[in-house]
Amino acid sequence: MVAFARVVEAGSFTAAARDLGLSTPVVSKRVASLEHELGTRLLHRTTRKLSLTEAGSALYQHCVRLIEEAKMAEMAVARLNEAPRGLLRITAPFSFGSNQIAPAIPEFLERYPEVSVEMVLSDRIIDLAEDGFDLAVRQTDDPQPNLVAKRLTSTRKLICASPEYWRKHGKPLKPADLESHNCILYGSLSSNSEWVFNSKEREERVRVKGNFVVNGPEALREAAVGGLGVIRLTSIAILQEVKAGRLETALDEYASADTDIYLMYLPNRYLSKKTRVFIDFYMEWYAKRNPKTLCL
C-alpha cells in the first residue's frame, strides 16, 4: 500500500520508484499485486497520466490515514527513546523487593522524574511478557533461557530466633531438636511443616510445628524478633536483624545450599529507555550497597 500511495502522490511509477529507492518494475509489480489481491483496478493507466478509479480513491484515503498514524507512532516511540519516561513494572520476591529494591527507588525517581515505578511483590513466578512486566528479580539455580539474567548475589535459608528465645529454650544442636521448638511457619501449614536440611553425610527432613502461620516474610521476621519462636528464612530477609543483634542464627552447618538471585528481563535489542536506565542504575546502586555477598 505504501508503493500505491506514493505512485498516487508522485503522479507516476518512475517518480514513485525514485522516491522509494526502488526500480520502476518493482513498484509497478507491487501495485499490480495489490490490485490482484483486492480483485479490482485501482489506477487508470494511459501513456500520458495516471488517474484513480473509484476503488483506488477510497483505498488511497485509507492509506493516507494509515501512513499518518504510522508516522505518529514512530514519533511517539522516538519520544520515549529520547528520555526515560513512562511506567516501569518490576516484580520481585517479598524479602528482596522490600530490602533491596524499594530503598533504591527514591534515588532512581529523583534522577529520572518522568518515570514512575510499579513494583509487585510475589514469591510466585510471573510471566514477564504475558503479565506486562519490564523486569523481574528471581531466586533460581536455573535461569530461564528465554530471559536475559544478570546475577546479583546468592542466598541460603537459615534457622534463627531472637536472643531472648534462645536463652529461654536453648539453641538446637541438630535439626531433629527443632521438633521441640515453637517454629513459626511461612506460607501454609500443609506446605511448610517439613523443613529439609543438608549435611555432608545426608539429607534430613524434620516435621516442625508452631502456633503461628503467616504468608509474608516481614511478619514472620517480626514475630521472631518479638521472641515468639524459630523461623527459617533466606539470609537476605534476616541480614539486617542479625547484624543488629535482634536475631541469632543456629544450625548454620545445615543451611541450604546457596541459590543465586538474578535481575531478569526479556531479550530485546529495542529495550525501552526506562528499562535500560533502571538496569544500569540498579546494578551500580546494588554493587555500592552490597560490595560483598549478602550471604551470612
Q: Both 22 and 49 in a single domain?
A: yes
pLDDT at residue 295 in the model: 40
Answer yes or no: do 140 and 281 share one domain.
yes
Q: The C-alpha cell of 143 is what?
A: 535461569
Contacts of 11 (CB under 8 A, 6+ apart): 49, 50
Query: Could you please report the per-residue DSSP string of 44-80?
Result: EE-SS-EEE-HHHHHHHHHHHHHHHHHHHHHHHHHHH
Q: Please indicate, yes or no, whether residues 128 and 270 belong to a single structural domain of this protein.
A: yes
By CB neighbour count within 10 A (0-12 exposed, 13-18 middle, 19+ buried), where does 30 fall?
A: buried
Give yes or no for residue 294 having a pLDDT over 50: no
Domain contains 295? no
pLDDT tens digits, residue range 238-273? Answer: 988 999 999 999 999 988 878 899 999 998 766 888
Asked if residue 197 is part of any domain, the answer here is: yes
Specify whether 221 is located in the same domain as 134: no
Mark whether 209 and 285 lie in a shared domain.
Answer: no
Tell me how far apart the alpha carbons of residues 289 and 296 are, in angstroms, rounded to a whole number: 16
Q: Tell how strand 213-214 and strand 259-265 pair up.
A: unpaired
Whether residues 161 and 232 share a domain: the answer is yes
Residues 60 and 198 occupy one common structural domain: no
Specify whether 237 is located in the same domain as 183: yes
Identify the burial level of 245 via C-beta atoms within 10 angstroms of its C-beta, where 0-12 means exposed, 13-18 middle and 19 or more buried.
Answer: exposed
- Helix, strand, coil % over all residues of the chain, rounded to 5: 45, 25, 30
199 and 70 co-located in one domain:
no
Whether residue 296 lies inside any domain: the answer is no
CATH number of the domain that 73 lies in?
Answer: 1.10.10.10
Residues 107 and 145 occupy one common structural domain = yes
- Look at residue 293 and tell me whether its pLDDT is greater than 60: no
Residue 76 or residue 259, greater confidence: 259
Q: Considering 51, 79, 107, which residue would you say is the last residue of a domain? A: 79
Q: 9 is in which domain, residue-wise?
A: 2-79
CATH number for the domain that contains residue 182: 3.40.190.10
- Domain end: 47, 79, 111, which one? 79
pLDDT recorded at residue 212: 94
Q: Is residue 185 located within the same domain as residue 39?
A: no
Q: Report pTM.
A: 0.63
In a domain, 294, yes or no: no
Are 250 and 265 members of one domain? Answer: no
Determine the pLDDT at residue 128: 92
Q: What is the pLDDT of residue 68?
A: 83
Task: Annotate 246-283 with b (16+ C-beta within 10 A) or e (fewer).
Answer: bbbbbbeebbbeebbbbbbbeeeeeebbbbebbbebbe
pLDDT, tens digit, 9 for 90 and up, residues 94-121:
889 988 999 999 999 999 999 999 999 9
Nearest partner of 253 among 164, 156, 168, 163, judged by Cα: 156
Supply the mean pLDDT for the chain. Answer: 88
**Confidence bin at 134 (pLDDT 50/70/90):** very high
